Structure 1
Amino acid sequence: MALLDDVKSELAALEDEKADARKAQVTAMIRFAGGFTHNAQKQIVMLATFDSLIAAQWLRDNIEDLYSLDAKLISSTRTTPKGTHQYHVVKVERGAVNLAVATGLIDRNKAVRGLPVKIVQGKIAQVRAAWRGAFMARGILSDLGKNPYMEIICPSNEAAMALAGLARRLGITAKPRQLSKSYRVTLTDPDSIERMLNSMGAMRSARDWTGKRSDGETRSKANRLANFDDANMRRSAKAAAEACDKVRKAFELFDAAGVDVPDNLRAAGQLRLEHGDASLEELGRLAEPPISKDAIAGRIRRLLQLAEKTAKSRS
């Protein structure tokens, strides 16, 4: 539980997120932590319930900042057979309908049971933010033992399917499943869990979680560091870092020279910058639509060749 709280605290403290990403996170938190309902006066209100106070505070603050609406935070304590628990409810009364439309959770006067199309088909930053919001709302993270897992409790099958689809866009396999009357999306592979933590932005927590791996796995990693495979990994990582540096300088040159870069080459270069540790095969899977590693390598190569030509013409 302490690790789970640490992850949510780290995610809530992230800064410099663009408005589109924060809006995607707000939408996911509302979708997975509650939604829109009617009060006693038959008016539509937004209610989202959290176990984590810091998650509730993040949602309240961002609803007020992004949508200029008054959001209330109400905390209460409940006694259950398992002990006493605190719950934190974010509530929006005035303007709840506008919030539902703005987030896309109501589309053409119909409630969206999964996630809005603008997130499902959105930018990678929005995809990451949606996963971040779902995790802050209903995420579970086990301690790393014999059966490690990360899980999101979902409000509907459609929400579970949408979340699994977003994971695929990140190159991560997450399985939707039904457990009794609840729907869940689950990751059980330790490497996938580590990648998802990093994708959401919880890099410190990912390192902490990885550090708790079993002694056997730790020894296995130590062996890999000493063998030829690890040498290949180091060379690949170095090559990726060098490619990132070249692409970054190329974009700076294009901006200075006012060069019109083809969309497919620009997108390939942007993927290289956004996923500095990813292999070419992983970059190909992240492309929209997905392409082969040879194709993504070719586009990055042509981008750098265009930079060379631009530099020569300016000299």
Structure 2
Amino acid sequence: MALLDDVKSELAAIDNELPAAKKAQATAMIRFGGGLRLVQRQIIVQAQFDSLEAAKWLQSTIKNLYGHEASLTQVARQTPSGVVQRYLVQVERGGAALALQTGLLDRRKHLVLGLPADIISGNIAQVKAAWRGAFLAHGGLSDPGKASYLEIVCPTNEAALALVGAARRLGVTAKPRQLRSSERVTLKDPDAIERMLMLMGAPRSAREWTGKRSDGEARGKANRLANFDDANMRRSAKAAAEASDKVRKAFEILGDDIPENLRAAGQLRLDHGDASLEELGRLANPPITKDAIAGRIRRLLQLAEKTEKARAQQQ
């Protein structure tokens, strides 16, 4: 959770964007953090965050960019893991005007369920800012060492599709999915996650996430090797020894009458008895695929068997 907090702190600290990008981020933060409520025919804009820095950014932007006062209050929320603190940004007076200014209400005062078209089709800075705002509002990131994911919980299917389209414009493949009655947009490829973190404006956190993930994978691999089943190791060693014996016998049968490519493949098997076929392929000169090296060894053994049978028939 600490790394996720670091990512959101880094994103919330960005303050050098042009007004169009700031508007895109604010709109996404409102859309994915809560949205609009109608109370006694009055539109109230509200958004809730788990990051105090994100809440302060939105409160400040609403005042400085749109000219509306927004309240910021801390609220306690009960979750399965206990009580957590959330930060609620709310605009009561001028809520309808703010909704129109952000594009969450269209000109006919209809609610926009996804993101406004001028953001989705806007410049790349706006698209990046929209993803940044959505992540600040409702984004999640896997802990290093666990299955990789970057995920945003979306208020509507339209909002999810808007994020998918925005990611496509950034050259990143994101997939919508439904989990426990909620719409989500997810990235699972580690390279795509690192790229999206950097595009959103968190290069420091991206490097930290990638570094910790690599360290976790290395430790996991070491543990798997250390705990490798002895029986499997014995079977692998036995299979390698049997393969080497067969090649050695084939060399004895065929003598000098062996095609050079088959001889080279067989010699690799003898010289590197513990190596996998893929490793043998890499050791070949020039390197070949594991299927190619397996095929050459197989043809070597078949040629030896055929030659031995022919000699037996001649006797």
TM-score range for the pair, normalised by the shorter chain length: 0.5 to 0.7
SS class of match (2:11): helix
Matched, 1:168 2:168: yes
Query: Which one has the largest radius of gyration?
Result: 2
C-alpha distance in structure 1 between counterparts of 2:93 and 2:87, whole Å: 19
Q: Write out aligned runs for 1:213-232 (5 A).
A: 213-215=213-215
Q: Which residue of 2 aligns with 1:117?
A: 117
TM-score, L = length of structure 1: 0.67
Q: Write out aligned runs for 1:117-196 (5 A).
A: 117-196=117-196
Deviation at 1:146, TM superposition (A): 4.3
Q: Write out aligned runs for 1:206-285 (5 A).
A: 206-215=206-215
Q: Which residue of 2 aligns with 1:198?
A: 198
Residues 121/84 of structure 1: CA separation in 2 closer, same or farther (3 Å cut):
same
**Residue identity in the other structure for 1:78:** R
C-alpha distance in structure 2 between counterparts of 1:112 and 1:84, whole Å: 32
**Residue identity in the other structure for 1:133:** G
Q: Which residue of 2 aligns with 1:34?
A: 34
Deviation at 1:76, TM superposition (A): 1.8
Deviation at 1:9, TM superposition (A): 0.4
Deviation at 1:150, TM superposition (A): 0.2
C-alpha distance in structure 1 between counterparts of 2:111 and 2:169, whole Å: 24
Deviation at 1:47, TM superposition (A): 1.2
Superposed CA offset, 1:2-23 (max 9, x none): 0000000001111211000000
Q: Which residue of 2 aligns with 1:106?
A: 105
Q: Write out aligned runs for 1:77-96 (5 A).
A: 77-96=76-95
SS class of match (1:127): helix
SS class of match (2:74): strand
Superposed CA offset, 1:254-301 (max 9, x none): xxxxxxxxxxxxxxxxxxxxxxxxxxxxxxxxxxxxxxxxxxxxxxxx
Matched, 1:4 2:7: no
SS class of match (1:15): coil
Q: Please tell me whether the aligned partners of residues 149 and 188 of structure 2 are also in contact (alpha carbons under 8 angstroms).
A: yes
Q: Please tell me whether the aligned partners of residues 135 and 152 of structure 2 are also in contact (alpha carbons under 8 angstroms).
A: yes
C-alpha distance in structure 1 between counterparts of 2:120 and 2:77, whole Å: 36
Residues 216/45 of structure 1: CA separation in 2 closer, same or farther (3 Å cut):
closer
C-alpha distance in structure 1 between counterparts of 2:208 and 2:31, whole Å: 29
Q: Which residue of 1 aligns with 2:53?
A: 54
C-alpha distance in structure 2 between counterparts of 1:42 and 1:216, whole Å: 53
Task: Give the CA RMSD over aligned residues.
Answer: 1.5
Q: Please tell me whether the aligned partners of residues 42 and 96 of structure 2 are also in contact (alpha carbons under 8 angstroms).
A: no
TM-score, L = length of structure 2: 0.67
**Residue identity in the other structure for 1:174:** A
SS class of match (1:45): strand
**Residue identity in the other structure for 1:85:** V
SS class of match (1:213): helix
Q: Please tell me whether the aligned partners of residues 145 and 217 of structure 2 are also in contact (alpha carbons under 8 angstroms).
A: no
Deviation at 1:215, TM superposition (A): 4.4
C-alpha distance in structure 2 between counterparts of 1:55 and 1:145, whole Å: 27
Residues 211/95 of structure 1: CA separation in 2 closer, same or farther (3 Å cut):
same
Superposed CA offset, 1:151-206 (max 9, x none): 00000001000001000000000001111210000000000000000000001000
Deviation at 1:111, TM superposition (A): 0.4
**Residue identity in the other structure for 1:72:** S
**Residue identity in the other structure for 2:89:** V
SS class of match (2:61): helix
C-alpha distance in structure 2 between counterparts of 1:192 and 1:200, whole Å: 12
C-alpha distance in structure 2 between counterparts of 1:217 and 1:182, whole Å: 30
**Residue identity in the other structure for 2:110:** K
Identity in percent: 63
C-alpha distance in structure 2 between counterparts of 1:146 and 1:70, whole Å: 42
C-alpha distance in structure 1 between counterparts of 2:105 and 2:173, whole Å: 28
**Residue identity in the other structure for 1:89:** L
Q: Please tell me whether the aligned partners of residues 149 and 186 of structure 2 are also in contact (alpha carbons under 8 angstroms).
A: yes
Q: Which residue of 1 aligns with 2:71?
A: 72
SS class of match (1:109): coil
SS class of match (1:164): helix
Unaligned segments of structure 2, at least 5 residues: 220-315
Matched, 1:24 2:24: yes
Q: Which residue of 2 aligns with 1:14?
A: 14
C-alpha distance in structure 2 between counterparts of 1:173 and 1:162, whole Å: 13
